[in-house]
């Protein structure tokens, strides 16, 4: 029940932020930066379980700085990332005990990449001409599949997907996850067509590409999202913890909730970039 209540509170907030008008883009960037910083804090907590002690607050500031740079100077994300990575490396080199320089520096820089660089793709997606539609599509493809996998896996899961990483995940749940993503994407496309036909609104717009493109893309993103989920599960298992945090009742931590997006969001960005370059 806690899981349902938390989702019922968060989902409307997410969709309100997604559909903010362009002049409120800074608020979307700020909200995403906070989420990324919290996820980074939790990841560094996992690293701490393994003996590292990275400067969590400093990494959080670096993550926020990356988002600020992506908003003010969107063409300078790569140089900014390099400067921030070097800053974290130097911080750990001179302020960490000598026997912890390597684990502290590597976990700090990886935290910046893992939760910062990946989620910078969300504001980049929102700035596209059909940005809100892309984000709704992404969230539906990822979270619909996650929910389907959870319940199908619990009811009918028999064959373990990756028992050494996540014993509760099954092949049945994984397949159901893909099916759930494609099905919800189909409903989303139908809703977009209905809104544009009967209410003359393009609040959801997918008309630039054929239906099959979005259905295939949703299946692909779902597979990528499942890999992202397994990657975070491997990090947690390595650290010997069940959840990355407790901030979201029924869901664990922020990182637990967005682990699939960490790979799916940049993947969607690059797929769209490549697709529209031809």
Provide the number of structural domains found in the chain: 2
Q: Do residues 133 and 120 share a domain?
A: no
Q: What is the DSSP letter of 115?
A: I
| Domain with 195 in it | 129-278
| 127, 152, 175 - which closes a domain | 127
Band of the pLDDT at 19, cuts 50, 70, 90? Answer: confident
Alpha-carbon dihedral angle through residues 200, 205, 209, 210, given to the nearest 10 degrees: -60
Q: Do residues 150 and 110 share a domain?
A: no
The two three-digit tokens of residue 264, written as one number: 């799916």
Band of the pLDDT at 278, cuts 50, 70, 90? Answer: confident
| Amino acid 189: pLDDT | 92
| 106, 127, 148 - which closes a domain | 127
Model confidence at 253: pLDDT above 60:
yes
| 62, 97, 127 - which closes a domain | 127
3-class DSSP assignment, residue 97: coil
CA-to-CA dists, residue 9 to 15, 80, 248, angstroms: 11, 35, 11
pLDDT, one tens digit per residue, over 126-136 is 999 889 999 99
Q: Do residues 24 and 113 share a domain?
A: yes
Band of the pLDDT at 202, cuts 50, 70, 90? Answer: low
Q: Do residues 149 and 104 share a domain?
A: no
Highest mean pLDDT among 35-44, 151-160, 199-208: 35-44
Q: Do residues 141 and 109 share a domain?
A: no
Q: Do residues 89 and 134 share a domain?
A: no
Apex 258 CA angle, 255 and 261, nearest 5: 135
The CA distance from 35 to 31, in Å, is: 6
Model confidence at 182: pLDDT above 80:
yes
| Amino acid 114: pLDDT | 97
Model confidence at 198: pLDDT above 70:
no
- The model carries a pTM of 0.92
Model confidence at 201: pLDDT above 60:
no
Q: Do residues 140 and 200 share a domain?
A: yes
Q: Do residues 94 and 179 share a domain?
A: no
The CA distance from 32 to 59, in Å, is: 16
Q: Do residues 49 and 31 share a domain?
A: yes
| Amino acid 23: pLDDT | 86
**Mean pLDDT of all residues in the chain?**
92
Q: Which residues contact 28 (CB under 8 A, 6 or more apart)?
A: 17, 18, 20, 122, 123, 126
Q: Do residues 62 and 160 share a domain?
A: no
Nearest to 125, CA basis, from 141, 105, 111, 145: 141
Over range 51-69, report the average pLDDT.
97
| Amino acid 22: pLDDT | 85
Q: Do residues 164 and 108 share a domain?
A: no
Over range 239-259, report the average pLDDT.
87
Q: Do residues 107 and 187 share a domain?
A: no
């Amino acid at each position: 029940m806690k899981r349902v209540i938390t989702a019922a509170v968060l989902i409307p907030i997410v969709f309100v932020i997604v559909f903010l008008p362009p002049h409120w883009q800074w608020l979307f960037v700020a909200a995403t930066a906070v989420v990324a910083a919290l996820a980074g804090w939790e990841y560094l907590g996992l690293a701490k379980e393994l003996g590292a002690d990275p400067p969590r607050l400093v990494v959080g500031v670096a993550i926020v700085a990356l988002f600020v740079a992506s908003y003010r100077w969107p063409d300078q994300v790569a140089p900014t990332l390099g400067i921030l990575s070097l800053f974290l490396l130097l911080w750990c080199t001179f302020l960490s005990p000598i026997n912890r320089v390597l684990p502290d520096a590597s976990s700090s820089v990886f935290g910046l990449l893992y939760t910062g660089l990946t989620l910078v793709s969300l504001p980049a997606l929102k700035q596209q001409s059909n940005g809100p539609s892309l984000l709704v599509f992404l969230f539906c493809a990822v979270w619909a599949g996650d929910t389907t996998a959870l319940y199908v896996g619990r009811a009918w899961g028999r064959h373990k997907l990756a028992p050494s990483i996540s014993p509760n995940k099954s092949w049945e749940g994984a397949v159901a996850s893909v099916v759930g993503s494609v099905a919800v994407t189909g409903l989303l496309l139908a809703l977009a067509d209905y809104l544009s036909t009967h209410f003359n609104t393009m609040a959801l717009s997918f008309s630039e590409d054929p239906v099959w493109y979005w259905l295939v893309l949703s299946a692909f993103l779902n597979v990528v999202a499942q890999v992202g989920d397994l990657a975070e599960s491997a990090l947690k298992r390595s650290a010997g913890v069940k959840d990355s945090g407790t901030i979201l009742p029924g869901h664990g931590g922020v990182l637990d909730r967005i682990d699939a997006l960490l790979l799916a969001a940049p993947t969607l960005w690059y797929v769209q970039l490549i697709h529209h370059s031809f």
